[in-house]
Structure 1
Amino acid sequence: MIKDLKLAELKNYPVCLTLIDGTKNKGVINVLVEQQLVKIKSEISTEWIPMDQIKHCSLLIPISFERQIL
């Protein structure tokens, strides 16, 4: 999971974090490995989440559909 979090931070991909209490948070993250924290910024708020509270991480990779006109 830490590899996914680091990749999302590096590529600036949004993620969906599922916490052990069942709540889900979507946004762009910053990872602080030494402090075992993830900062997630959504449209509504910014939250600090301890890594031990994260049950699952999903990367939301943007895909562009550009058509080429021949």
Structure 2
Amino acid sequence: MIKDLLLAESKQYSVLLVFNDESKYIGQISMSEDKKRVKVKHQHGIEWVPLNEISSCSLSIPITPQ
């Protein structure tokens, strides 16, 4: 999951994060320097979330016409 989060951060992809309590955030992310937390910019604000609270992560990769 860390590799996916790092890819999303570097390419500025949107992510869907699902947490252990089944709540969800969709937005842009940034990793903390120690790689133990992720900052999520979502529709209701900005949250810092510990990685151990995330149960799954999905990336939204834009498709560009060629």
Query: Is this a same-fold pair by TM over 0.5?
Result: yes
Alignment of 1:15-30 (within 5 A): 15-30=15-30
Q: What are the ranges of 5 or more consecutive residues in structure 1 without an aligned counterpart?
A: none
Higher fraction of strand: 2
Q: What are the ranges of 5 or more consecutive residues in structure 2 without an aligned counterpart?
A: none
Find the structure with the greater CA-based Rg.
1
Alignment of 1:37-48 (within 5 A): 37-48=37-48
Task: Give a deviation string over 1:11-53, Cα, whole Å, max 9, x none.
Answer: 0000000000100100000011515110000122101100000
Q: How many residues align?
A: 66
Q: 1:28 to 1:37 in 2, by over 3 A?
A: same
Comparing 8-17 with 32-41, greater Cα deviation is found at 32-41
- The CA distance in 2 between the partners of 1:40 and 1:25, in whole Å, is 8
TM-superposed deviation, 1:65: 4.7
RMSD: 1.5
Partner SS state of residue 62, structure 2: coil
| TM-score scaled by length of structure 2 | 0.90
Percentage of pairs with the same residue = 44
Q: Which residue of 2 aligns with 1:64?
A: 64
